[in-house]
Chain A
Amino acid sequence: DADVTQTPRNRITKTGKRIMLECSQTKGHDRMYWYRQDPGLGLQLIYYSFDVKDINKGEISDGYSVSRQAQAKFSLSLESAIPNQTALYFCATSDAGTGPYNEQFFGPGTRLTVL
């Protein structure tokens, strides 16, 4: 079984709809992240959480909200979807650790299309 799972894998929705993307991990990591990737571009950080009670905005948080329901679950919501939120969304996790090693483990991605 995959260590980081995302649901749904593909979603088509209409402008103005509320949508939630879910991420679950079995790695036991404290830190979780949501990234967005537009075609041909690198990843942009939306939100991240370093533990269950910690939520931080990333580079492009406007129009998004998150919920860290448990150590293993981190959800991303689009309250009112708009077409320019059409993108590939990735969830990632990492261990807090005490050394320099900062590997992030990524999920398979959710392809979201807003019509």
Chain B
Amino acid sequence: DAKTTQPPSMDCAEGRAANLPCNHSTISGNEYVYWYRQIHSQGPQYIIHGLKNNETNEMASLIITEDRKSSTLILPHATLRDTAVYYCIVRVGGTGRRALTFGSGTRLQVQP
């Protein structure tokens, strides 16, 4: 699986957009980008995933660069409840016989 690099921490004002970057310069053509988050020692929660097109769901948007070497998770209107550690994971999708590999993630602190 491709290695990912994320900043260790970020701050964001409540109500503003939170933009969390992830570098994955060694990503392969069949590897997807997944984002999970973990709120204060709870089990991680899936947010979104994508291959090469931008994706949006009710939680967030995922912007993947054209060369696929980096991506940005966007929380459009951050709230205090979005304070969490956000993990960017790159791996082959579907029935591949490998589990997710979690790095250290980005600790997002949403400020009131």
Known A-B contacts A88-B41, A109-B41; A101 and B93 likewise in contact (beta carbons under 8 Å): yes
> What mask results when residues 84 to 115 of chain A are scored 1 for a CB within 8 Å of chain B, else 0?
00001010100011111111111111000000
| Interface locus among A39-47, A64-72, A74-82 | A39-47
The answer to whether B95 touches A98 (Cβ under 8 A) is: yes
Whether B93 contacts A100 by the Cβ 8 Å rule is yes
Interface residue tally for chain A (C-beta within 8 Å): 30
Given contacts A42-B105, A100-B51, A102-B91, whether A58 and B43 have CB atoms under 8 Å apart is no
B49 within 8 A of A: yes
Are the CB atoms of A106 and B104 closer together than 8 Å? no
- Is the beta-carbon distance between A108 and B99 smaller than 8 angstroms? no
Q: Is the CB of B32 within 8 A of A102?
A: yes
User: Would A109 and B43 count as touching, CB distance under 8 A?
Assistant: yes
B31-53 interface (Cβ within 8 A of A): 32, 34, 36, 41-46, 49, 51
Report the bound CA distance from A108 to B49 in whole Å.
22
When C-beta atoms are compared, the residue in chain A nearest to B85 turns out to be A42
Most buried by A among B32, B36, B87, B102: B102
**Residues of chain A within 8 A of B36, CB atoms compared:** 104
